[in-house]
Chain A
């Protein structure tokens, strides 16, 4: 039987990292095929997150027409659907690294992982990369519904920009996932990941613009790296009113993407080093 993660015959750092990613993605993919019903349900989860918002707008309160520019040209339903699908994708990528580490902790295999002659950052990254691929499929379903069911559908240029923004958003989520993975490595619990993710989700405005928040929350929303990909996507794809100038938001998004990935790799390296130095990899 072939080992899932090849730790021998490294021919260069990059080749080794790529082999790790490939092995990890292949392992996760086989798990998905092994549990098809669970996989199918995964695709339904964003819908279930969207429904309470949609039902609220459909049967409790009709959208205020004076607020229509906030929700763009397709109305609250599509605004909320795209927002929730995109947010769910980002959230799942952010959580992927922490979940992987937490599983290693509860299975008692974290120490073995840390003493293996391989790059721990690459293994954790590999899980985030798989989550990015998996979530991209879910996003395509949401985007596909938008393309098929709306008239006029967004233009090709808008789709190209949406693709770029999706990649940017996934990049930020990947970096943040590494940072929170480092925190999970040190604390051995996922609680802090959930706390941070819930705050980031809320501040980004899960189905509305953060413009509705009172000033202190709006300031925090501006400081949230995930606010920008979501806000830009809603603005470019749905014609919704952006929080600030689109060009400025794009520059901020590019900067936070690079910064979060660098910060993530730094935090993981520090966390691994700290666990090795203190000998706390196998204990709480």
Chain B
């Protein structure tokens, strides 16, 4: 059942991307133009001719990661919002289909699509702002998977909040933007003041983004990174479990209050 629902949800989302090309074409605009290029040109405006290649790579990869996570999170909550507004959420939830499989199918499709968009954005930005790229592929894959898992955990938690609050775009936006901003996407967290550094340490995205960035720039491989990877794997499992738990809890609550399809 889980696999069938997952596949049906995944296929539906992919068919929609195919049917409405503007949905992914938007990503091609939104990703580089909203998240990456403003920071790259901002960096250029700030540093004049002093913009080093390493700094360029630092900001470019950080903002690329941010764009990917941001899109994945909004696509998951967007699915619930759309079903709610079209009045079909209760119908979907009355079926015996596992909700997590339904959500995961859609989030996976979104992740696949946004990975291609991110790759395109990254290549485009790399040609405009070259920097030393020397990926340790094994480390890149491991860190990318951990970033995926963390992002999905956050997406499930956000979906639960959306289910309960109904009108929560601004709350979620502030939460996600704050989380990612404090993850050191545009600045090295080690050089930040102690309070900011401490805050970044408790956000699991910070070491994941840093690790992925270092792996792509050839500054770190898997050897010696096991303690960080283990910590991240535990954090990813915990965040995924917490996200799924929160989603189920909110679903139970709205069923109890009979507010699944109403405000």
In the complex, the answer to whether B55 meets A60 with C-beta atoms within 8 Å is: yes
A57 to B55, CA, bound (A): 12
The CB with the most chain B CB atoms within 10 A, among A35, A61, A106, is that of A61
B-contact 0/1 string along A250-266, CB 8 Å cutoff: 00000000000000000
Q: Does B91 contact A (CB under 8 A)?
A: no
Distance in angstroms between the alpha carbons of A205 and B205 in the assembled complex: 28
A243 interface residue (CB < 8 Å to B):
no
**B187 to A106, Cβ gap below 8 A?**
no
Give every chain A residue within 8 A of B39 (Cβ-Cβ). Answer: 52-53, 56
> Quick one: which of B96-147 are within 8 Å of A by CB?
none
The reply on A207 being an interface residue by CB < 8 A is yes
CB-CB under 8 A from A209, the residues of chain B are 45
Cα distance, A84 to B107, chains bound together (Å): 30
Do A208 and B41 have beta carbons less than 8 Å apart?
Answer: yes
| Complex contact A38–B192 (CB within 8 A) | no
Alpha-carbon distance between A38 and B168 when the two chains are bound, in angstroms: 6
Q: Does B252 contact A (CB under 8 A)?
A: no
Question: Does A145 sit at the interface, judged by CB under 8 A?
Answer: no
Tell me which of B44, B51, B86, B186 has the highest count of chain A C-beta atoms within 10 A of its own C-beta: B186
A55 CB, nearest partner CB in chain B, Å: 4
> Contacts of B37 on A, CB cut-off 8 Å?
202
Flag if A60 contacts B186 (CB, 8 Å): yes
> Within 8 Å CB of B187, what residues of A?
55-56, 58-60
B33 proximal to A (CB < 8 A): yes
Interface string of B158-178 (1 = CB under 8 A from A): 000000010111110110011
A51 touches B (CB below 8 Å): yes
**Taking each of B42, B51, B58, B59, which has the highest tally of chain A beta carbons within 10 Å of its own beta carbon?**
B42
Contact between B85 and A107, CB atoms less than 8 A apart: yes
The interface on chain A, measured as residues whose beta carbon lies within 8 A of the other chain's beta carbons, has a size of 49
Does A280 lie at the interface of the complex (its beta carbon under 8 Å from any beta carbon of B)?
Answer: no
CB of B194 within 8 A of chain A? no
CB of B231 within 8 Å of the partner chain: no
Contact digits for B213-245, partner A, Cβ 8 Å, 1 yes 0 no: 000000000000000000000000000000000
Residue numbers of B with Cβ under 8 A of A are 20, 22-23, 25-26, 29-30, 33-34, 37-39, 41-51, 55, 58-59, 82, 85-87, 165, 167-171, 173-174, 177-178, 181, 185-188, 191-192
A-B contact pairs, 17 of them (CB 8 A): A35-B167, A37-B171, A38-B168, A41-B170, A44-B170, A45-B177, A48-B174, A59-B191, A61-B43, A62-B46, A70-B45, A191-B25, A195-B25, A202-B34, A205-B41, A208-B41, A208-B42
What are the nearest 4 A-B pairs in CB distance? A208-B45, A64-B48, A191-B22, A41-B170
